[in-house]
Amino acid sequence: MFFVTPNPIAFSLGPLTVRWYGILMAVALLVGTWLALKEARRQGLDEDALLNLIILAAPIGWIGARIYYVIFEWSYYRAHLAEIPQLWKGGLAIHGGLIAAVLVGLWYTRRHRLDFWQIADIAAPSLILGQAIGRWGNFFNQEAYGYPTRLPWAMYIAGEWRHPTFLYESLWDLGVFALLLWGRHRQGVRRGDVFLAYLVLYSLGRFWVEGLRTDSLMLGPLRAAQVMSLLLAAGAGYLLWRRHRAAREQSGQ
């Protein structure tokens, strides 16, 4: 078992306070951008076009993640309106950010006559790696933790030994990241497969991890993240099956 009480504040410079959450979000963005640009270069895609999309989608994605979270926690935020823009304190929902980023990507690729599926495939490994890094922001904020447990790897959080669910998800995301990089160059992979595989694999892991958490956003009696994960996994899985079936029929197999 691990007894750790991290300080959410990395350092202070006069009135400026820098939190680990913000640092990790910045690291996730920078590493993800570098990885995506490297792949765009390999594929001969205009790097400036991709960078412009990232510059546009990243802040909108964070705003979408915050709006999604605030909507589900409106009973609290309606009495604390000043806290809504305080992203550095946590309270981002990845599903809201993903929905916002995909909508921006669809608009941008259509406007600039780019292949959405190609861009999405390039972005998918960066997204899941960024999520793996970002989960450590939850560690420093002491949030996104699970139920009490006596397992050997439990962490002491909020006065009890608990499942470190942020760690579970981070490790799962790293595994998905490795699979996406491996699968990207496999024979028979079509444009869109990597992104759809990302949605399926991430959603399966998130569904399991969410069941261990104590701070889930709720949709009535259901955990919102589990509902969204099932929808994404089913929808992406169906698209994968349909697209490959259509390809086989066209090739006469």
Nearest 5°: phi and psi at 60?
Answer: -65, -35
1 belongs to a structural domain: no
**Residue 20's domain spans which residues?**
9-251
The CA-atom distances, in angstroms, between 69 and each of 96, 99, 122, 187 are: 8, 13, 27, 39
Please say if the pLDDT value at position 253 is more than 70: no
d(CA 59, CA 24): 15
Amino acid 90: pLDDT: 79
203 belongs to a structural domain: yes
173 belongs to a structural domain: yes
d(CA 215, CA 156): 16
Q: Which amino acid is at 14?
A: G
pLDDT band at 247 (very low <50, low <70, confident <90, very high): confident
185 belongs to a structural domain: yes
Half-sphere exposure of 66 (CA within 13 A, CB side): 16
The CA-atom distances, in angstroms, between 10 and each of 5, 88, 140, 221, 233 are: 13, 12, 9, 37, 37
How does DSSP classify residue 99? H
DSSP 20-63: HHHHHHHHHHHHHHHHHHHHHHHHT--HHHHHHHHHHHHHHHHH
3 belongs to a structural domain: no
Amino acid 89: pLDDT: 76
Half-sphere exposure of 136 (CA within 13 A, CB side): 13
Q: Which of 171, 180, 170, 218 is nearest to 200 (CA)?
A: 180
Beta bridge partners, 19, equal 9
Amino acid 180: pLDDT: 98
d(CA 117, CA 197): 12
225 belongs to a structural domain: yes
Amino acid 249: pLDDT: 77
Q: Domain total for the chain? A: 1
122 belongs to a structural domain: yes
35-41 long-range CB contacts below 8 Å, 24 or more apart? 35/125, 35/126, 35/129, 36/122, 36/123, 36/125, 36/126, 39/122, 39/125, 40/122
Amino acid 197: pLDDT: 98
In the numeric block, the tokens 């495939």 are attached to: 121
d(CA 201, CA 179): 9
pLDDT band at 187 (very low <50, low <70, confident <90, very high): confident
Q: Which of 179, 183, 72 is nearest to 132 (CA)?
A: 179
Please say if the pLDDT value at position 49 is more than 70: yes
pLDDT tens column, 96-134? 999 999 999 999 999 999 999 999 999 999 999 999 999
Amino acid 159: pLDDT: 87
42-76 b/e (C-beta count within 10 Å ≥ 16 → b): eeebeeeebeebbeebbeebbbbbbbbbbebbeee
Nearest 5°: phi and psi at 95?
Answer: -65, -40
Joined tokens for residue 127: 């997204």
**Is the whole-model pTM more than 0.75?**
yes
113 belongs to a structural domain: yes
